[in-house]
Amino acid sequence: MGDSGRSRGRISYPAASTPATMRRANERVLLERLARMRIASRADLAKAAGLSQPTAGKIIDRFLRLGLLREHQPGKGPRPPAGRARQRTGRPGRMIEFDGRTPRFLGVHLDVRETALAPLPVCPFAEVEWPVRFPTPDSPAEWRERLRQHKPRRLKGLWAVAVSAPGIVDERSGRVLFSPNLHWTERVNLIELLRSVWDLPVVLVQEIRALALGHLNAEPATEDFLLVDFGEGLGAAMVLNGRLYSGPVPLSGELGHTPVPGNPRPCGCGGTGCLETLVSRRGLLESMASSGGPAGSWAEFVAAVRRGAPPSWLLASMEAAGAVIAGALNVLGLRKAVVTGHLNDLPTAACETLAEAIRRGAMWARFGEILCELAPRRRGAGLIAACMDRLLPEISAKAKAGR
């Protein structure tokens, strides 16, 4: 959401121009500008969105009634980023912000090891806690049963369920086409499965795309980037021209399945030598065990590699990952990599090795600057932004009906 002249984070497709679609376009632009400004007066928001004050006022009033926006209460709610608060003279106007308190969506994060649930407000830059967690079962039937056990007692006021899932995901059809580390998801339609638990619209987002969308909305001044997440696998998602990239087929960013010469490890995708077998959690634990180090939990692994100099095999794995990421930057013409996931747990030397390998292989470094940034995962913010983009008409209709 938000750069002037751009539609940040949009992942939907354009429709034919009608009064209804024009109204929705105006609504989207206004929400995008507010996401960037965080808090604004009606006049400033209308100006930023390029709308007349009467038009902007009608949209704001409608969203206030729906509970999507609220009038700012001093001392409560999100604060504007440093330097963004505008000094005014005379009588202050009523300030508008997103309603960051009331849960409107139910977030579901389906991961290889764990499933997490969280209530999500409509604020697309909210910091989200995931209070409900349970081990991900080995079958869709068991997963559905665990979801039912943790089903919120009250669904009133919720507008949709938002789910992130790993693998190659066709977000429109609700199908996981291929998931090297969670194969049972290939046999079900996740949208239909979730609807059988909650009678609500369902938005499905590939997990790394959710992270990229969350980062895009949480960082107002961010620029185009490649987000790379180190987790149970190694995936990436691209933000190009201020938008989350969606290709003609749902396959992109699979950096983890790039073969590394000399790596004999089998991968869940059916190949041999994939990068993720070296740098995923499981791959790093396997490398530690095969090098004679302690075999144990992730916490024990982190403690071990933080003692003294990082082992040579860890630095070699970071070198391999850096070369692959640099190649992706070269193909895309990007100069910024945002890294999330368990790399944040590793020693500084390992992170520096990765960053240096990226700079060494990226063409931008020959005549400009390559930016490498460690960032937290903002999955909840990405799911919120996806719901607001895809379901704006449905949200309005259901909220008006009192659901």
Which residue has tokens 């291929």? 178
Q: SS3 for 189?
A: strand
Q: Please give the distance of CA 348 from its chain centroid, rounded to a whole number.
A: 25
Which residue has tokens 């077998």? 277
Interval 102-119: pLDDT, tens:
899 999 999 999 999 999
Q: What is the pLDDT of residue 3?
A: 41
Percent of the chain residues topping a pLDDT of 70: 86
Pairing of strands 95-98, 69-71: antiparallel
The C-alpha angle 280, 285, 287, rounded to 5 degrees, equals: 95
CA distance 283 to 359: 24
DSSP state of 169: E
Distances (CA, A) of 272 to 70, 105, 166, 284: 53, 40, 20, 16
pLDDT band at 395 (very low <50, low <70, confident <90, very high): low
* Runs of H (alpha helix) within 67-185: 140-149
Domain spans of the chain, in order of start: 19-98, 105-211+380-400, 220-374
Q: What is the pLDDT of residue 196?
A: 94
Q: What is the pLDDT of residue 313?
A: 94
Res. 267: pLDDT tops 90: yes
Question: Residue 244 is encoded by which pair of tokens?
Answer: 């989350």
Inter-axis angle of helices 19-37 and 392-400, to 10 degrees? 100
* Contact indicator for 224, 328 with CB cutoff of 8 Å: no
Res. 131: pLDDT tops 70: yes
* Runs of H (alpha helix) within 164-311: 190-195, 207-218, 276-279, 281-290, 298-306
Q: SS3 for 116?
A: strand
> Are the folds of 105-211+380-400 and 220-374 the same?
yes
Pairing of strands 39-41, 95-98: antiparallel
Q: SS3 for 379?
A: helix
Q: Which whole number is the average pLDDT over 273-293?
A: 93
Burial of 88 (0-12, 13-18, 19+ CB in 10 A): exposed
Q: What is the pLDDT of residue 89?
A: 45
Res. 261: pLDDT tops 70: yes
Query: Could you tell me which CATH class the domain 105-211+380-400 is placed in?
Result: alpha beta
| Mean pLDDT of the residues in the chain | 86
Q: What is the pLDDT of residue 76?
A: 54
Pairing of strands 234-240, 225-230: antiparallel
DSSP state of 187: G
Buried b (16+ CB within 10 A) or exposed e, 329-338: beebebbbbb
Interval 135-144: pLDDT, tens:
999 999 999 9
Q: What architecture (CATH level 2) is domain 19-98?
A: Orthogonal Bundle (1.10)
Interval 140-174: pLDDT, tens:
999 999 999 988 776 678 889 999 999 999 998 88
Distances (CA, A) of 176 to 93, 153, 212: 48, 29, 19
Q: Which whole number is the average pLDDT over 222-236?
A: 93
CA distance 342 to 231: 6
Assigned CATH topology for domain 220-374: Nucleotidyltransferase; domain 5 (3.30.420)
Which residue has tokens 């060494």? 360
Q: What is the pLDDT of residue 15?
A: 46
pLDDT band at 87 (very low <50, low <70, confident <90, very high): very low
Res. 202: pLDDT tops 90: yes
